[in-house]
């Protein structure tokens, strides 16, 4: 295990690198409890960094893409920055008109988490979010535990407890590129989801859930990400690509299920995604252009990375037909996501 520290305007940023028995590595940051780098071998044994990252450590501070980090207290959108819980309405900062996104500009992704422990196999981060933080009720104690195996499997488990009723939705916002850089439109994607959440032009869920069959959002049969991305289909036009929440088919949330796979024929690297979350947010880096320079110094372009965010439904607090995201005292929120890497 290797640990590095860097001074920054917001405090000490710590990078921790785990190396497995095969020499494959994962680098994490206490800023946003985020993934900085994942280096695994391609089909020829050459190392490839499959997680997008920035050239400078300080570029992760308040970055728009939330690259590799942990959005929270509530990942994705809450309509108009408002929700009602137990008869009381809470107002949250609107940071992407007209919605509250990823917990606000001072949310979990932009906080320095505490490094509780670190080894070659496991890193544990923790964060205390006080009552009223970004408008949310309750003091929340959150943890992010990363485990790296000799089988090139990266597991992240998020937990949270609270002292008063609140809402919680945590996920990881890594952008994956199984070639290391360039477009991901030729990557082959498969998602075990027969339905998706309908949104308005602001990508706010309407509450309607509908079938993917017959639409460009059908990834049940594997296909290149770019095959239908420019289709004459309003949801794709609203988002400039894929930025949609898929309702995962497997319903037993007590167990991890393989929900998606991503493959590059060029590198031969495959990534399988398993989770106990009820939904997967697919985002194809539609607005990556203008982000901080890549770790190689290149400018990012749209579709240079794809995020597969396993989480609860966006805007769930405002829709009674969505699975509840309410966390009460005495309960423990748990979301586990596993990224498994291999070659074909």
- Is 100 noted as a catalytic residue in this protein? no
- Is 173 noted as a catalytic residue in this protein? yes
Q: What is the number of other CB atoms lying within 10 angstroms of the CB of residue 175?
A: 25
> What pairing do the DSSP bridges indicate for beta strands 34-41 and 25-29?
antiparallel
Instruction: Please choose, from the candidates 189, 185, 138, 190, the residue with its C-alpha nearest in 3D space to the C-alpha of residue 160.
Output: 138
Instruction: Please choose, from the candidates 112, 82, 121, 113, the residue with its C-alpha nearest in 3D space to the C-alpha of residue 99.
Output: 82
36 CB-near residues (< 8 Å, 6+ apart): 15, 27, 28, 29, 51, 53, 60, 68
> H/E element holding 14?
strand 13-19
> H/E element holding 207?
strand 205-211
Among 102, 195, 309, 319, the active-site one is 309
> Do residues 293 and 54 make contact, with C-beta atoms less than 8 angstroms apart?
yes
Among 173, 187, 244, 319, the active-site one is 173
Q: Which residues are catalytic?
A: 173, 309
């Amino acid at each position: 295990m290797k640990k590095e520290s860097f001074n920054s305007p917001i405090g000490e940023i710590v990078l921790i690198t785990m190396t497995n028995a095969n020499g494959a590595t994962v680098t994490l940051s206490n800023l946003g409890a985020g993934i900085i780098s994942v280096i695994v071998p391609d089909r020829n044994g050459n190392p490839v960094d499959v997680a997008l990252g920035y050239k400078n450590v300080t570029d992760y501070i308040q970055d728009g893409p939330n690259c590799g980090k942990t959005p929270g207290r509530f990942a994705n959108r809450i309509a108009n920055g408002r929700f009602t819980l137990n008869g009381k309405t809470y107002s949250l900062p609107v940071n992407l008109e007209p919605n509250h996104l990823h917990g606000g500009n001072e949310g979990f992704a932009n906080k320095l988490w505490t490094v509780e422990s670190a080894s070659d196999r496991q890193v544990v981060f923790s964060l205390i979010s006080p009552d009223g933080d970004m408008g949310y009720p309750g003091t929340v104690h959150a943890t992010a535990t990363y485990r790296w195996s000799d089988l090139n499997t990266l597991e992240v488990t998020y937990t949270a407890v609270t002292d008063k009723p609140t809402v919680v939705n945590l996920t990881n916002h890594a952008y994956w590129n199984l070639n290391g850089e360039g477009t991901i439109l030729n990557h082959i994607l498969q998602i075990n989801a027969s339905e998706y959440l309908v949104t308005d032009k602001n990508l706010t869920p309407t509450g309607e859930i509908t079938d993917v069959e017959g639409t460009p959002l059908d990834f049940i049969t594997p296909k290149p990400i770019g095959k239908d991305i420019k289709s004459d289909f309003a949801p794709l036009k609203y988002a400039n690509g894929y930025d949609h929440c898929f309702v995962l088919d497997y319903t037993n949330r007590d167990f991890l299920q393989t929900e998606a796979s991503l493959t590059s024929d060029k590198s031969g690297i495959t990534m399988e995604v398993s989770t106990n979350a009820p939904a997967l947010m697919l985002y194809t880096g539609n607005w990556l252009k203008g982000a901080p320079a890549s770790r190689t110094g290149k400018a990012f372009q749209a579709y240079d990375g794809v995020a597969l965010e396993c989480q609860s439904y966006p805007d769930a607090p405002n829709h009674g037909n969505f699975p509840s995201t309410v966390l009460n005292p005495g309960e423990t929120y748990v979301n586990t996501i596993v990224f498994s890497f291999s070659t074909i």
